[in-house]
A = this chain, B = another copy of it.
């Protein structure tokens, strides 16, 4: 039995990722005054739409959802009992326009393998089963990972995708990020004289940029995943800010200290250069963590996919910031 085309028309808008697309539209429905043996007879006649469906639904006038009955309860109850006395009230329902991810989240949260879908007037329009929700979970996680790595979400498994398709999924972001790195190059060119005066500074640029990028991707991935799992919301932005401030403060302290000692002990650069590099590192780490933690929340608020805001884009922003801090620090501490 396929998804009901007619229903799609009656519920607008039906986005690609809505519950309406994965729900079964013809569950077995029973009136409340029906007896258990009549219910079993009815299941025998109409059949359950899917092998993974293990409930019947009790509806009133116009399909208003009243309750649900597990097949196991029909099996274990005497035939003369009314279904309304064995049914349970569904305490979680979905709407057809809900995101499929919500279906999966609710099933996981409440340990359920089946959820009824009702419209705005509480009328039963379908049922989502856990096997479809599991597939959604996997797809969404894959899409998030792909977006975090600056790719368009793929439609097929990797080995089945054509090279040209993979190329098209990857190249737009690569081009965009390459061109945005012009900014970083521009900053370096702008401070060419400072670098010529202290050539040693150049050698630390990759370390500063990489560490900033790593911190940014750590906080962004944490927050993006939290958003996907429904554990972090926009209203939490102040808590995220405060948490990232403390975590990044600790990271900044540890990294700057280790770096400063390493430079003093293992390299020939003077204390002033070591201090310049280490202070820049500390500021970069804090900025990167904050940008990484807050940009995804802002993106979600503005209606974008937060995963798009992950590592590569944040890296570009953080790269530029860290260079500006570096040259400012050098001008203060080294007088160049």
Contacts and interface: CB of A to CB of B under 8 A. Distances in A.
A292 to B, nearest CB: 9
A302 interface: no
Contact of A177 (B214, B311, B312): B214
B207 A251 contact: no
Contacts of A210: 177-178, 181, 184, 209, 312, 315-316, 319
Interface in A161-203: 163-164, 166-167, 170-171, 173-175, 177-179, 181-182, 184-186, 188-189, 192, 195-196, 199-200, 202-203
A141 interface: yes
A330 interface: no
Interface in A282-320: 285, 311-312, 315-316, 319
A178 B231 contact: no
Interface in A239-285: 239-240, 243, 246-247, 250-251, 254-255, 258-259, 262, 281, 285
A261 to B, nearest CB: 12
A145 B148 contact: yes
A32 B150 CA distance: 55
A159 B232 contact: yes
Contact of A243 (B74, B75, B166, B207): B166
For chain A, the bracket of interface size reads 35 or more
A73 to B, nearest CB: 10
A113 interface: yes
A208 to B, nearest CB: 9
Q: Is the interface of A mostly helix, strand, loop or mixed?
A: helix
A19 B200 CA distance: 55
A240 to B, nearest CB: 8
A251 B170 contact: yes
B262 A179 contact: yes
11 contacts: A146-B221, A148-B148, A150-B218, A158-B222, A158-B232, A178-B258, A181-B211, A185-B203, A189-B200, A205-B206, A210-B316
For A108, A113, A151, A184, the residue with the greatest tally of chain B CB atoms inside 10 Å of its CB is A113
A84 interface: no
A164 B158 CA distance: 38
Nearest to A254: B171
